[in-house]
Amino acid sequence: MTGTSTPDTDDLAAVAAELGFDLPQDALDASRDAASQLADTAAAVRERERESTPATETPPQDGQLDDEYGTLLYGYETPRQRDTDGRLDGYRVAVKDNIAAAGLTMTCGSEGFEHTPEFDAAVVGRLLDAGAQLVGKANMDAFAFGPSGEFSGQTPVTNPLDEDRIPGGSSSGSGAAVAAGTVDVALGTDTGGSVRIPAACCGVVGVKPSFGAVPTHGVVPFAPSLDTVGPLARDVDTAADALTAIQGPDPRDATTTPTSIVELPDTPTVGIPDSFLEACTPPVVDAIDELRDSLSTDFDVRRVEVPFGAIEEAYSLVGATEFAWYVRQHGTIRGIGATYDSDWADALHEFITEQGFSDHVAKRVLPAATLDAHENGQPYVAGRREARTFDQHLEAAFADVDLLVTPTLRALPHERGRIGADDSMYDLLGNTAPFNLTGHPAVTLPIAERDGLPVSAQVIAPRFADAAAIAGAKQIETSVNTT
C-alpha cells in the first residue's frame, strides 16, 4: 500500500518551479512544515474511513465462472440476492468487470491486474435493492478499450450469433451473455459506444443513458466526462426496468441529475440525419431505408441536417487524453469525481509500475496523450469546441423533431481479427461516440438481419429525456416485430 510521506525542500522547490512560483527559502520552509501537517491529516483520514460505502455483507466468492462464450469472469457461489420485492426480482444479472461488487475480484479485463473491492458500486446496490440475482462479473476489453470486443486479457469472448464475427466492445461479455441467455440483464459502461456496440453486434438492446442520469460511483473511469453505465437486455421493456432501477441522483456522485418525464405525442416526429448514413455500407443503408418506410405509419419521419464536422476526431482527442490524465494522477480524479477509493488507486499504481498496460491500450492512448503534452492541452480544447459545435447542431435538430434515429454501426459486425487499435475503428465508434461527447441518451435495438447478421438502429432523445428515448425504441421494436 502506498503510504503518505512528507515532501522535502527539494520536492517543494521542484513543484514550485513547475507551477511558476518563485519563493524565497523561508517561504519554502514554511510550506514544507504545512505540507507535513497536511500529510498527517491525510494519513489519519485514510486510516479512519473509506470514501466508498461498504456492502452490507461480503458474500463468498467462487472464483472464475465457466461459460461457453467466455462472457463471465468471477462470480458468486450462488447468485447474490438482497431483496425479492422489486421490479428485477427473478432476473439474473451480470455487471461489467470495471464495476465494483463486494467480494468479487475485479480485473478490468486485463491480464495481470486483480483487485477485490470491499464495497458495491452504486448501481450494484440498486440492482440488489430491486431484487436482481447478481451472478457475477462480465468479461470486457482491457480497461474498456474496445471497440471490437477482441481485447480481453482474461479469455476471448465469442459472439453467440456467429463465432467468426466480433462480439463488439468494450462491454463484450455483457452483450454476449445477454445474447446467449446466460443472464437476463447485464450492465456495461459506455464512453464511446461500449454498451451500444456489443448490443448491435450481438443483436440485443443496449441503453446509453444521459450523462449524469446513472451514478458512476464504484466504476473504474475511462474518460470521466464521457463515462456512463447502462443496461443490455433482449428487449426494450427489460432494459427499461433495469434502467429505472439504477438511475437517479446519488450523493457520492456530484454529476448525477434527475431525468425528465417527457411524454411523446401520439405521432412522434423522427429525424433521420443523412450525415449518419454517408459512411455506412449498403446493407446498413438498405435496412435503415426499410425502417424509414415501416415507421411512416406511426411516426412523422423527416430528413434532418446534423453536420458531422470533425466530431470523430474530437472523440479521440477528448477520451484518450482524459484516460492519460487519470493514469498520470495514479487513479485519482482531481475535481468532481464519483469514486475516491485509496485501495483502488494503490492497486492501479502498482499495476502500472510493475506490469503496465497492453499494447492495444497504449496504441489507443499514446497519440492523443503525446499531442496533449506537446501542445499544452490545446488539442483537448479543440476537441471540446468541436463537441460544442456538434451539440448545437443536435439542439437545432431537436427543435424540429422529438427523436433522432441513426444506424448504430456503419457496417455489419466485422470478422474477427480485422480491427486493431485504429483500423476500421470508426465503423464501430463513428455513429456512437458523438453522443457521449454531448451527453444525449441513446437506445440501440436490432431492426433487421442481413446475411444472418443483425443491423441495429439507435434512438436518440434530448438530454435527460431518457424516458422518451425508451418509449421511441419500444414503438420501433413493436413496429419491426409486426412487419
Model pTM above 0.75: yes
- Cα separation of 398 and 435, whole Å? 14
pLDDT digits (tens, 9 = 90+) for 88-132: 999 999 999 999 999 999 999 999 999 999 999 999 999 999 999
Least confident of 38-47, 215-224, 419-428: 38-47
Least confident of 271-285, 312-326, 413-427: 413-427
Instruction: Output the average pLDDT for the chain.
Output: 91
What is the rounded average pLDDT of the residues 452-458?
98
pLDDT at 181 exceeding the cut of 80: yes
Active site includes 208?
A: no
Asked if 434 and 382 touch (Cβ cutoff 8 Å), the reply is no
pLDDT interval class at 202 (50, 70, 90): very high
Active site includes 225?
A: no
Q: What's the pLDDT at 1?
A: 40
Across-strand partners of 92? 133
Q: Which of 152, 194, 225, 358 is catalytic?
A: 194
pLDDT at 344 exceeding the cut of 90: no
Q: Which of 52, 96, 316, 342 is catalytic?
A: 96
- Cα separation of 127 and 149, whole Å? 25
Exposed, middle or buried: residue 243 (CB in 10 Å: 0-12, 13-18, 19+)? buried
Q: Which of 52, 110, 148, 170 is catalytic?
A: 170
Exposed, middle or buried: residue 480 (CB in 10 Å: 0-12, 13-18, 19+)? middle
Structurally, what CATH architecture does the domain formed by 61-481 represent? Alpha-Beta Complex (3.90)
Domain chopping of the chain, boundaries = 9-48, 61-481
- The helix or strand, by DSSP H or E, that contains position 470, with its residue range, turns out to be helix 466-481
Active site includes 137?
A: no
Q: Which residue has the higher pLDDT, 411 or 22?
A: 411
